[in-house]
Amino acid sequence: MNATNSPFPNHTNSCEPSYDQENPLPLVALYSIVVTVGLPANLITVILTFLEVCRKNVLGIYLFSLSVCDLMYLGTLPLWAIYINRGHHWEWGSMACKVTGYVFFNNMYISIFLMCCISVDRFVGVVYAVESRGLRKMRHAVIITVVIVAVVAVGHLPVFIMKEGNSEKMEEKRCFEPSNPSDVVTGLNYARFFIGFFIPLCILIVTNLAILVNVQASTGLKLRTKVKVRNLAMAVVLFFLVCFTPYHMILLLRAINYNFSKEKCDFERSVYEPYTISLGLSTINSALNPVFYVLTSNSAHTRIHKGLQGLRSSSRSSSFA
């Protein structure tokens, strides 16, 4: 996070934005809407996906974990809304700031990786409908989910030693706001862009494209089912792009600017407003993730599997004719 002319003349952080010129209402309103919509939606989804887990539904593991993760994050949004409404003045101490930031970063990347798991699971179930019976097991889904949570949690432990979280040591009591760029933050920005965004985006595009190709080639599926599958594949990729692309592109631009530009703070000031917009967009995923449950847990999968099995059976029989 970065800066402009500080509202405190004696502040040494020349990269800090002018928060006194910012209108907090749009972001506060967005956070309020996300909490209002996301909280009940995820509570319902937690119950429904837990029932799917009890029925030994592999996909239910990922969807249940996604909803629990989102509920944890939604619990921090009121603090962010109050903080922004108070002119970016954090009242709850450095540890609360660091924990809140830690939950935010963890939620974003656990959500991204779980979205990838959902798409890969659908890809295996659709493209390898017969072969996947021995591959898609509850135990494997649990292990994958635990590994994702552990890796992301460990990867973001530096949040607890970053100076941006030491709100009590700042006159203005900021919490993870833009500051002077550093090697550590720049390295994290590169990692978050490539590992946390670009690679998952490639996985989502490849898996959903493969699902589309296989489903469109099936003669055993009704047109309505094909349209549903196509709409789901497009929604997953579009949803990912809208929520996460702006934020991660700004992270990448910040990292590049730090390495190659001499006017670091000028760039940081100019990018702060787009950054706040991108940050708001990234929170929307917590309210919309329950859509994955609605779109992925209907009987379309059964019809897809039967249709693809019928296609393969007919192709095999014709090859032996």
Segment 164-175, tens digit of pLDDT: 778 877 777 888
In a domain, 10, yes or no: no
Is residue 55 packed enough to be buried (19+ CB in 10 Å), middle (13-18) or exposed (0-12)? Answer: exposed
The Cα–Cα gap between 152 and 188 comes to: 12
In a domain, 188, yes or no: yes
The reported pLDDT for the residue numbered 7 is 34
The Cα–Cα gap between 196 and 113 comes to: 8
Percent of the chain whose pLDDT exceeds 70:
80
Mean pLDDT of the chain: 81
Residue 179 has pLDDT above 70, yes or no: no
Q: How much is the average pLDDT of 168-195?
A: 81
For the domain that residue 94 is a member of, what is the CATH number?
1.20.1070.10
Q: What is the pTM of this model?
A: 0.81
The Cα–Cα gap between 280 and 294 comes to: 24
Checking phi first, is residue 176 left (phi over 0); if not, alpha (psi -120 to 50) or beta? left
pLDDT confidence bin for 125, thresholds 50/70/90: confident
Residue 8 has pLDDT above 50, yes or no: no
In a domain, 236, yes or no: yes
Residue 15 has pLDDT above 60, yes or no: yes
The Cα–Cα gap between 246 and 257 comes to: 16
2-6, 13-17, 81-85: least confident range: 2-6
In a domain, 153, yes or no: yes
Sorted by sequence, the CB contacts under 8 Å of residue 192 that are 6+ apart come out as 109, 248, 251
Residue 9 has pLDDT above 70, yes or no: no
Into how many domains does the chain fold?
A: 1
Domain hosting residue 175, numbered range: 22-314
Q: Do the Cβ atoms of 63 and 292 come closer than 8 Å?
A: yes
The reported pLDDT for the residue numbered 319 is 43
Sign of the torsion angle spanned by Cα atoms 175, 177, 182, 188:
positive
